[in-house]
A and B are shown apart, each in its own frame.
Chain A
Amino acid sequence: MLEKRKAVEQQPSLLQKKLIVSHAPFLHSGPRISERSYHTMLAAVPALVLGFYHYGMPAVGVACLSISTAIIWELLFNLVTKRTITIGDGNAALLGLLFAMLVPATLPWWAVVSGTFIVIVIGKQIFGGIGSNAFNPLALAVAMMMVSWKDLFDFDAALLNYDLEFATIYPLVAAKYFGTTPVDAFSLLDLFMGKQLGGIGSTFGLGLLIGGIYLILRGFIRWEISLTFLAGVYLTAFVFNLVDPARFAGPAFHLLTGYTLIGAFFLATEDSSSPVNFIPMLIYGAFGGIMTVLIRNIGAWVDGVILAILVINLISPLLDKIRPQALGKVM
């Protein structure tokens, strides 16, 4: 024992402080997943606040319940599957917040709880958690709920009891069933400023645009997807409008109504279910925009954004096969 100790003392390296040995690189550019989540939530705030202003405490209630149950579902799933607790990354809270922005203010509590269950457990966790979901969890949840409880997403019926300062008819319903005559009654500025029926946080065009531009500038979402999505909507709606102006609403109307803007900036850009290469991103976004207007104008559903996003999620892995040639690749 004494000898061993002596040997240790003779070799000062064994007595010295521990250094951390890690692999290169030793620097990091800074951002973390939590930062992305919280800044995306921040970007969503302007649109959400106008929703609170229009629909009052019920909207606040839906948002709070949605965020908290989303976090709880994630925590429960972590505990049940005995995996690392991941609520700290903010992704569950973000999904909860965005879910609240998509639904009407009067959504019953049980629908909010089931909705966040679909978002977190079915949309995200059973695929393996963050980064592994093939579909945007929000689009999946809203689509499942639209199919299962059709009345919940009938904005005209859901918001019937509100006395608002603007026309209380869901613009896309007006456009789909009554042609362009009622559509012309909507002023584009009013639509842009959020004076229209819709989800709690999905009607305020200016707020969503500000949030989207913030996210693009910070590099949290990819401009290629958002921009081509909007371009796809605009051009397709323009062509339809050109062919039959009496039946199909104009392109600006389609840009400012329904889920178009929230879809372009917050749903289609979701990391896991979207491509990362330049050309695939362009195709992905544009195809989403085209599908949106196709469903709206000649499909069975009033708003096509949710279903269009599910369709482009489906082709995203295939699109990402279009990739640049790696350096020095031997063909």
Chain B
Amino acid sequence: MFKKLFVGLAPTQLEYEKLPVRLPEAERIPAPKSITLLHPKNEDHRLPSVLGIGDPVKTGQKLSLYPDQNFYVISPVTGTVAGLSPYSGDFGKSYIAITITVGRDESLDGAFQQQMKNPTMELASSYLAYTPGNPPWSLLADPENGIKTIVIRGLDPDPMVATSQYIAQSRLKDLKKGIHILKEISGVQDIILITAGESVQGYGHIGAQVKGVKTTYPSALPQMVMKDVLGQVVPAGKTCEDLGVCFFNVEAVVSVGKAFESGQLPTTKTLTLVKKDGTSKIVETRIGTAVANILGAYGETVNEYDRVIFGGPMTGSALYALEHPVEPDTDSIIVLDRDKAAYVSDYPCINCGECVRICPAKMQVHMLVRFLEANQYEHAAETYDLYSCIECGLCSYVCVSRIPIFQYIKLAKYELQRAKTPEAADA
């Protein structure tokens, strides 16, 4: 997969996944016996008492463990709560895992339908945050950001993943409705739909400008879209939101459209499943389904020391347990055999310059990594442009010494952020 060519004069190109002209039908995986939802946890150590074991829940019901905070999950099934337990995620995030045993009959919750007559931002952010595609309502609603442009990503940022392309091509009706609603509730008129290269045609009067980006990684990453499509370079250390641009996954917009069309909150997540042999499938499953259930449906076996990845091969994250549930932003599940996955080494940089030549942000990665290895994060940020990094992972991908450069960069940003927070709190 994506190996360097024999003639290696030019850097390796990572092509985005291309769907066939006749779209494959997404395969539906039936709801399992029980599902798990990850509800964000606050600093309180006790489990909240709003929801208890044995409580019945309906499909589409909003479950909020802290009534005073705007955290919630939407139950994708009808059943009873079977357990509440703490759960740790990446970068110190903590959750409460709500396990729901799926009941025999399905009944639908009507709270959203009653209020959907007049769509507002408040309604959207209080019902549509835990829908497939994970719409970033808080970014859009924050008046400080002053969002002027919404970019809908109809192309997955990572290679091997085809979820967004599939949705952008197959759910045109819901997409159109979603764009309409989005304009209405946010007041933003400038909406751009990003697709891969040539496939700009065929969207008709969708209500958004359609623009194509190059079909090679990393041209669909937000900073690259900003630079190539919008002609604005995001200054180092700033985000796209700071420039008034908000990124939506196409699935999020489709979910909005679907919700207002049917009156029911969508609970089915579309994702790309890449199996060990490299073949991929577009799969539809309820949010909260454990990875083990999905792999089981395809008879995919996972052995000791294999890797299971949520998200793409360049920017995704590896799971430590197959019980991890599908979340609203899980666009793909990739199973990598232990012989095929990349390993890192503790070799020093040999200064070959591959990373410098492939870096889309034109950073001096070979110098940066020397400072990062020595924990000199501040110097790295000042002298070697740590904050210009767009986090594409190409440096680690080409590194001959197999230094985990991307991990060093993320760690450095995380550590600098941590060092900054207490200082800000003191001031």
Residue A61 CB within 8 A of the other chain:
no
B393-A219 in contact (CB<8A): no
Kindly specify which of A9-17, A94-102, A172-180, A298-306 makes contact with the partner chain: A9-17
- Which size bracket describes the interface of A in this complex? 35 or more
B3-A217 in contact (CB<8A): no
**Cα A80 to Cα B306 with chains together (Å):** 37
Residue A82 CB within 8 A of the other chain:
no
Partner of B315, one of A19, A20, A25: A25
Kindly specify which of B49-57, B137-145, B279-287, B342-350 makes contact with the partner chain: B342-350
User: Looking across the interface, which residue of chain A has its beta carbon closest to that of B356?
Assistant: A276
Partner of A24, one of B353, B356, B393, B400: B393
A36-B400 in contact (CB<8A): yes
Residue B238 CB within 8 A of the other chain:
yes
Residue B69 CB within 8 A of the other chain:
no
Partner of B410, one of A13, A23, A327: A23
Given contacts A19-B307, A19-B308, contact A29 B313 (CB under 8 A): no
User: Looking across the interface, which residue of chain A has its beta carbon closest to that of B324?
Assistant: A13
A22-B236 in contact (CB<8A): no
**Cα A177 to Cα B7 with chains together (Å):** 44
Contacts of A150 in B (CB 8 A): none
Residue B147 CB within 8 A of the other chain:
no
Given contacts A19-B302, A19-B318, contact A29 B366 (CB under 8 A): no
Given contacts A12-B323, A330-B236, contact A24 B363 (CB under 8 A): no
B321-A19 in contact (CB<8A): yes
Contacts of A273 in B (CB 8 A): 351
B2-A327 in contact (CB<8A): no
Residue A156 CB within 8 A of the other chain:
no
Q: Measured between C-beta atoms, what is the minimum distance from B388 to chain A in Å?
A: 4
Q: A21-37 toward B: CB 8 Å interface, digit per residue (1/0)?
A: 11111111111110010
Residue B206 CB within 8 A of the other chain:
no
Partner of A13, one of B318, B323, B350, B351: B323
Residue A2 CB within 8 A of the other chain:
no
Partner of B319, one of A19, A274, A320: A19
User: Looking across the interface, which residue of chain B has its beta carbon closest to that of A222?
Assistant: B353
Partner of A25, one of B3, B235, B388, B393: B393
Given contacts A323-B364, A329-B385, contact A16 B322 (CB under 8 A): yes
Given contacts A23-B406, A329-B236, contact A31 B4 (CB under 8 A): yes
Residue A181 CB within 8 A of the other chain:
no
CB interface residues, B 13-38, toward A, < 8 Å: none
B351-A131 in contact (CB<8A): yes
Contacts of A323 in B (CB 8 A): 362, 364
CB interface residues, B 303-325, toward A, < 8 Å: 303-309, 311-323
Contacts of A30 in B (CB 8 A): 3-4
**Cα A27 to Cα B317 with chains together (Å):** 12
Given contacts A19-B319, A25-B315, A330-B235, contact A33 B401 (CB under 8 A): yes
Residue A272 CB within 8 A of the other chain:
yes
Q: Measured between C-beta atoms, what is the minimum distance from A329 to chain B in Å?
A: 6
> Number of residue pairs across A and B with beta carbons under 8 Å?
195
- Which size bracket describes the interface of B in this complex? 35 or more
Contacts of B387 in A (CB 8 A): 328
Kindly specify which of B184-192, B208-216, B264-272, B333-341 makes contact with the partner chain: B333-341
A131-B305 in contact (CB<8A): no
B233-A24 in contact (CB<8A): no
B314-A27 in contact (CB<8A): yes
User: Looking across the interface, which residue of chain A has its beta carbon closest to that of B342?
Assistant: A28
Given contacts A12-B323, A27-B1, A219-B8, contact A276 B353 (CB under 8 A): yes
Given contacts A13-B323, A276-B366, A326-B236, contact A26 B352 (CB under 8 A): no
A32-B400 in contact (CB<8A): yes
A328-B4 in contact (CB<8A): no
B8-A20 in contact (CB<8A): no
Contacts of B12 in A (CB 8 A): 29
Q: Measured between C-beta atoms, what is the minimum distance from A87 to chain B in Å?
A: 13
Given contacts A20-B338, A23-B406, A272-B351, contact A327 B236 (CB under 8 A): yes
Q: A178-190 toward B: CB 8 Å interface, digit per residue (1/0)?
A: 0000000000000
Which of A25, A30, A31 neighbours the largest number of chain B CB atoms within 10 Å of its CB? A25
B7-A21 in contact (CB<8A): no
Contacts of A22 in B (CB 8 A): 307, 318, 341-344, 404
Residue B6 CB within 8 A of the other chain:
yes
Residue B379 CB within 8 A of the other chain:
no
Contacts of A330 in B (CB 8 A): 235-237
Contacts of A17 in B (CB 8 A): 302-304, 306
A328-B388 in contact (CB<8A): yes
B397-A271 in contact (CB<8A): no
A26-B235 in contact (CB<8A): no
User: Looking across the interface, which residue of chain B has its beta carbon closest to that of A89?
Assistant: B347
Given contacts A19-B305, A33-B347, A328-B234, contact A25 B321 (CB under 8 A): no
A326-B309 in contact (CB<8A): no
Contacts A22-B341, A219-B8 known; list 11 others, CB within 8 Å: A19-B306, A19-B307, A26-B309, A29-B3, A130-B347, A223-B9, A273-B351, A274-B351, A327-B360, A327-B362, A328-B238
- 6 closest A-B pairs by CB: A219-B8, A276-B353, A28-B342, A23-B407, A327-B361, A326-B385
A-B CB contact pairs (8 Å), 24 listed: A18-B305, A19-B307, A21-B319, A22-B307, A23-B318, A24-B407, A26-B309, A27-B1, A27-B341, A28-B397, A29-B2, A29-B3, A31-B4, A32-B402, A33-B347, A33-B401, A84-B346, A323-B362, A324-B362, A326-B236, A326-B362, A326-B363, A327-B223, A328-B388
